[in-house]
Structure 1
Amino acid sequence: MATELLLGGFVYSSSVPDATALAVTDGVVTWVGSDAVGRALHPDAQIIDLADRFVAPAFVDSHVHLTSTGLALDGLTLHAATSRSDCLARLAAAVRHTGDGEPIWGLGWDDSTWGGVDSEDRRFPTTAEIDEVVGHRPVYLARADEHSAVASTALRRLVPDLDAADGFDQHAPLVAQAHHLVRAAARSLISADTRFRLQRRALDAAAAAGVVAVHENSGPEIAGLDDFLSLADLDHPVAVRRYWGQAADSAEHAAELLSITRADGLAGDLFVDGALGSHTAWLRDPYADDPHTTGIVHLDPGTIGAHIRACTLAGIQAGFHVIGDAATKTAVAAFAAVAEELGTPAVARCAHRLEHLEMADADDAAVLARCGVIASMQPLFDAEWGGAGQLYAQRLGDVRAADLNDFAMIAKAGVALSFSSDSPVTAIDPWATIRAAVHPHRTESGISARAAFGACTRGAWRAGGIRDGLAGTLEPGADADYAVWEVDELVVAGSHAGVQRWSTDPRSRVPALPDVSASARLPRCVRTVRAGTAIYTGDAW
């Protein structure tokens, strides 16, 4: 057996909080401790000098869309667009660098952040304005939340009877069924070879961010079955757990869907509603900036309950996409009803999931904790859209917006947390995710760095069905999934002053983590290792 001995660093270990060394044999952690003891115990080991770097369990991103992420990395990105005219200028530049007749995918425009003296520059681009730039090209430009899009006439014409679909507008962004149909048309223009390249590009980027596993959240309306099946056969060292968002009406139906799709679960982006930015999240009260709507409902309560029941009976992990408070309440009520019928242990055993869970209250959290439902959340949503005058406040008003993404309340209720990016909606950046959870816009909603780190490691493995107590740690017996980081400073910090006083006491034996305060420079990944094999090595290694 070949053993590697990593020495001269700072190793994150709950059992040995002052560890400086780590031994790995045949892809498994076999020992954690100090340099001197490590050398004595492993005299024949291959020595790896950490040079004062920080070693920690590798990350898992529990909510991604790989093909879209590849498009965002290599294609037209509009996150930085500052106005309608800037968005159109970026589109024109993309046209100049794209072959004749090739489709153009653009991702990430967000008119809630746009400025300009002219009020027209603060709105979305219309179909006619896009056509003026692109001519007869098929063009799909998704909003930042990917729940609506503007599209060229050429792309719209690929969908028969599009004007009869729910959510159609001749000039404005498409939502609901109309958006799903146009997205499918745009998706059909991506070749299998291109799709393969995009998926690998996304996974390479994940590895460079210290991530060794991701959870693909797909479904009929998001990327389609061809895209989903292609991921099952993709050979890449970053592990991909695959969730298919389609409702089942019986245990037999659930098993059939799992067999056809080769999915790991019938969860993820099974849409109950849409997104706040697109005015499609399902709310109990109307939008503050559009009092004529409460959003869009994709699944009725009966369908939601039947899906939970079917998956629970089949022993399959179920879950839903919920953002609005009405969507959340409906899903929570369905979990409670199925638990009442089948027994809470049967429901909890499946570790069902709710994606996003932005507008949950204490009553919701209590039910989810009792039913063992995992909250898959994206702290970078708060960093991107929380705060005075930002998207949440625009859509909901200041009072309702202040209650979103209450990580502390949800954790305190006993709900298991798993943090993720929803890439390409936000970037695959685990340390930025941790910072956003520790320092949200509403201070009371923040959790400790240790809890946030756990939600990106152990919690994310548990959300993917790995509950052996070792995954996401560097304890003996765990797979050697780790990343090596250059850090400026390691600190021990609690979620509030009382906790911090104890956490920093040497008697607490709390391991240190990189400083994620607002002014700190976040860690830089120099190496990512999966089961003892390096899958990313940076120039600084």
Structure 2
Amino acid sequence: MPDATAMAVRDGTVAWLGSDEVGRAQFPDAAVTDLDGGFVAPAFVDSHIHTTATGLTLTGLDLRGATSLRHCLDLLAAYARSHPGGVIWGHGWDESGWPERCAPSTGDVDAAVGGQAAYLARVDVHSAVASTALRRAADVGDEVPLTSDAHHRVRRAARDRLTAQQRTQARAAALDAAAALGVVAVHECAGPEIGGLDDWLELRAHDHGVEVVGYWGEHVATAAQAVELLAATQARGLAGDLFVDGAIGSRTAWLHEPYSDLPDGCPTPTGNTHLDADAVTAHLSACTEAGITAGFHVIGDAAVTTVVSALDSVVDRFGVAAVARCGHRLEHLEMVTDEQAAQLGSWGVIASMQPNFDALWGGNTGMYAQRLGAARAAGLNRFALLASQGVPLAFGSDSPVTDMNPWATVRAATRHHTPGSAISARAAFAAATRGAWRAGGVRDGLMGTLVPGAPASYAVWDADSFEVSAPADAVQRWSTDSRSRVPVLPALDGALPTCRQTVHRGSVIHG
């Protein structure tokens, strides 16, 4: 464990870290924090989050713990009894782990909530079930589960029934939770079909110590449209959850070959396509011409092929340097080939990924194997391949899909179910700190490190043990540069570290 005992911060910048009194005396005008045995490290950044939806899960009906269809419906009925007014917003059911292996029906939901409006998103938020009252309000039929446009309409109807107080409380809860987990910045992946423009503008106006970097997922066809939309939204880029396809769990990710466990009569055996090759190319071209970050939600192998082919044509048109300067990013990128990884690495395209997806759904009997078969499932979330080809990695949670705890993210990246796809704890930590800052456009060489002169964005942790002993002055050189003497990370075999204090640019935001 690093044995530096104090840190000095002056004007929001790290001035000194160490244990010697001589060093401490050099900065009499700085604010000195005594670490008292705590482990200090650069603060985390979550590269993909949905803030209001996360808060609604924290303050509302969280179904991620449901172990069966009956359990899910019991949780729903109990919540409805204790919240008789307004819309019920639930999240997180996952039938792939239930003995019934089937989603709740509209009748199931109605029996649990009576005449209330209820929206229940599947854990990946690419399908949902809803009560009859809400379906009627959204003018959708009896499809179960709801996907694509029908799902978007029902979610919009549910969102419209939330009060301003509910939305504000949800955002505060989500950002408070992030700060308590040592997260000082989040990348909000907003868009017209996710939370809508009002939700994004309200989040931008929400005063909180956690920094919100916003991406707006809406398609454009010309550079002029890109500039106009970026100015209207004040987002960091036209990226994030601009959907090319859906998700594997909802059988809506766009595949080359059909799903292995298709229900009878499935009209889309290879998933859903939201943007075709021409639309993807147009968006990338428009943003590259305007010098704006572009990006997409892309999961299935057919979707990845479409995006990589589009990037290839844009590189031919504008050149590698112009594409790399934009910092284009791909969210999730779960199914990628060796050749595609090499191409993305040569173009400087960023992979914003979620290691907890593999932790939750990987393995020979997990959800991926159910949907795709074991052979295809073994080729998902190839962190080591992408890193080896020079693809910049940024890690996040996609909360509320998975938990925001960044140490769980680091642990998951080191324990990939498929041999050869895991990365080291140091590489995973870098992807959740410096890599995520870089993905958000901060490339000053200091953010995400903890060295004199760097912004004072850090967290102090209590941890039971560390992997090996660290050199006595290692904490003074906290950097994600592999050439520096980085302190070892906490051992993640047992309880995860507890955050004692979170500081962003010199201001305490937790603890």
Determine if the TM-score, normalized by the shorter chain, exceeds 0.5. yes
Whether 1:534 and 2:497 are equivalent positions in the alignment is no
Partner of 1:173: 145
Greater relative contact order (Cα 8 A, min sep 6): structure 1 or 2? Answer: 2
Whether 1:190 and 2:162 are equivalent positions in the alignment is yes
Please list the CA deviations of residues 345-386 of structure 1 after superposition, one character each: whole Å capped at 9, or x if unmatched. Answer: 000000000000111111111111111110000000000001
Partner of 2:94: 110
Question: Distance in 2 between the 1:529 and 1:509 partners?
Answer: 23
SS in structure 2 opposite 1:514?
coil
Q: Any conservation in 2 of the 1:219–1:225 contact (CA below 8 Å)?
A: yes
Q: Which of the residues 137, 141, 145 maps onto 1:158?
A: 137
Question: Distance in 2 between the 1:35 and 1:234 partners?
Answer: 41
- How far 1:508 sits from its partner (Å)? 8.0
Please list the CA deviations of residues 398-435 of structure 1 after superposition, one character each: whole Å capped at 9, or x if unmatched. Answer: 00001111111110000000000000000111000000
Partner of 1:500: none
Q: 1:154 to 1:400 in 2, by over 3 A?
A: same
Partner of 2:128: 149
SS in structure 2 opposite 1:511?
coil
Q: Give the gaps of 5 or more residues in structure 2.
A: 470-482
Question: Distance in 2 between the 1:190 and 1:521 partners?
Answer: 36
Question: Distance in 1 between the 2:213 and 2:54 partners?
Answer: 16
Partner of 1:234: 206
Please list the CA deviations of residues 73-118 of structure 1 after superposition, one character each: whole Å capped at 9, or x if unmatched. Answer: 0101111111111111111000111033x11011000000012xxx
Whether 1:360 and 2:336 are equivalent positions in the alignment is yes
Partner of 2:421: 445
Question: Distance in 1 between the 2:484 and 2:176 partners?
Answer: 38
Question: Distance in 2 between the 1:215 and 1:62 partners?
Answer: 5
Q: Any conservation in 2 of the 1:92–1:134 contact (CA below 8 Å)?
A: yes
Please list the CA deviations of residues 514-537 of structure 1 after superposition, one character each: whole Å capped at 9, or x if unmatched. Answer: 112xx3321110100011111101
Partner of 2:291: 315
Q: Any conservation in 2 of the 1:229–1:262 contact (CA below 8 Å)?
A: no
- How far 1:232 sits from its partner (Å)? 1.6
Q: Give the gaps of 5 or more residues in structure 1.
A: 1-8, 11-17, 116-120, 164-169, 494-506
Question: Distance in 1 between the 2:59 and 2:164 partners?
Answer: 16
Partner of 2:496: 522
Partner of 1:135: 114
Q: Which of the residues 322, 325, 328 maps onto 2:304?
A: 328
Whether 1:22 and 2:11 are equivalent positions in the alignment is no
Question: Distance in 2 between the 1:230 and 1:271 partners?
Answer: 23
Whether 1:305 and 2:290 are equivalent positions in the alignment is no
Q: Any conservation in 2 of the 1:280–1:295 contact (CA below 8 Å)?
A: yes
Q: Any conservation in 2 of the 1:492–1:511 contact (CA below 8 Å)?
A: no
Q: Any conservation in 2 of the 1:21–1:38 contact (CA below 8 Å)?
A: no
Partner of 1:204: 176
Q: 1:46 to 1:410 in 2, by over 3 A?
A: closer
Amino acid at match of 2:261: D
Whether 1:246 and 2:253 are equivalent positions in the alignment is no
- How far 1:192 sits from its partner (Å)? 2.1
Question: Distance in 2 between the 1:171 and 1:336 partners?
Answer: 38
Q: Any conservation in 2 of the 1:126–1:171 contact (CA below 8 Å)?
A: no
Whether 1:431 and 2:407 are equivalent positions in the alignment is yes
RMSD: 1.6
Q: Which of the residues 52, 62, 69 maps onto 1:77?
A: 62
Whether 1:484 and 2:460 are equivalent positions in the alignment is yes
Q: Which moved more, 1:174-183 or 1:124-133?
A: 124-133
Partner of 1:499: none
Q: Which of the residues 190, 197, 216 maps onto 2:188?
A: 216
Question: Distance in 2 between the 1:141 and 1:70 partners?
Answer: 15
Q: Any conservation in 1 of the 2:9–2:32 contact (CA below 8 Å)?
A: no
Question: Distance in 2 between the 1:36 and 1:513 partners?
Answer: 26
Q: Which of the residues 419, 425, 446 maps onto 1:470?
A: 446
Amino acid at match of 2:118: V
Q: Any conservation in 2 of the 1:480–1:531 contact (CA below 8 Å)?
A: yes
What is the 5 A alignment of 1:366-377? 366-377=342-353
Q: Any conservation in 2 of the 1:271–1:299 contact (CA below 8 Å)?
A: yes
- How far 1:34 sits from its partner (Å)? 3.9
Question: Distance in 2 between the 1:190 and 1:35 partners?
Answer: 55
Q: Any conservation in 1 of the 2:5–2:35 contact (CA below 8 Å)?
A: no
Q: 1:256 to 1:491 in 2, by over 3 A?
A: same
SS in structure 2 opposite 1:348?
helix
Q: 1:78 to 1:34 in 2, by over 3 A?
A: same
Amino acid at match of 2:342: A
Partner of 1:4: none
Question: Distance in 2 between the 1:290 and 1:135 partners?
Answer: 31
Q: Any conservation in 1 of the 2:331–2:352 contact (CA below 8 Å)?
A: yes
Q: Any conservation in 2 of the 1:31–1:476 contact (CA below 8 Å)?
A: yes
Amino acid at match of 1:531: R
Partner of 1:5: none
Q: What is the TM-score normalised by the length of structure 2? A: 0.94
Partner of 1:86: 71
Please list the CA deviations of residues 228-273 of structure 1 after superposition, one character each: whole Å capped at 9, or x if unmatched. Answer: 1111211111000111100110000001111222211100000000
Please list the CA deviations of residues 479-526 of structure 1 after superposition, one character each: whole Å capped at 9, or x if unmatched. Answer: 100000001122259xxxxxxxxxxxxx9834211112xx33211101
Partner of 1:402: 378
Question: Distance in 1 between the 2:154 and 2:212 partners?
Answer: 27
Amino acid at match of 2:89: W
Question: Distance in 1 between the 2:241 and 2:75 partners?
Answer: 30
- How far 1:171 sits from its partner (Å)? 5.0
Question: Distance in 1 between the 2:17 and 2:339 partners?
Answer: 42
- How far 1:22 sits from its partner (Å)? 2.7
Q: Any conservation in 1 of the 2:120–2:130 contact (CA below 8 Å)?
A: yes
The percent of aligned pairs where both chains have the same amino acid is 59
Please list the CA deviations of residues 9-68 of structure 1 after superposition, one character each: whole Å capped at 9, or x if unmatched. Answer: 83xxxxxxx755432111101223443442342356554321211000000001000110
Q: 1:277 to 1:24 in 2, by over 3 A?
A: same
Q: What is the TM-score normalised by the length of structure 1? A: 0.89
Q: 1:76 to 1:31 in 2, by over 3 A?
A: same
- How far 1:172 sits from its partner (Å)? 1.3
Question: Distance in 1 between the 2:173 and 2:61 partners?
Answer: 15
Q: Any conservation in 2 of the 1:288–1:397 contact (CA below 8 Å)?
A: yes
Question: Distance in 1 between the 2:24 and 2:170 partners?
Answer: 44
Question: Distance in 1 between the 2:486 and 2:158 partners?
Answer: 50
- How far 1:442 sits from its partner (Å)? 1.5
Q: Any conservation in 2 of the 1:68–1:424 contact (CA below 8 Å)?
A: yes
Partner of 1:498: none
Question: Distance in 2 between the 1:184 and 1:509 partners?
Answer: 50
Q: Any conservation in 2 of the 1:23–1:30 contact (CA below 8 Å)?
A: yes
Partner of 2:16: 31
- How far 1:476 sits from its partner (Å)? 1.8
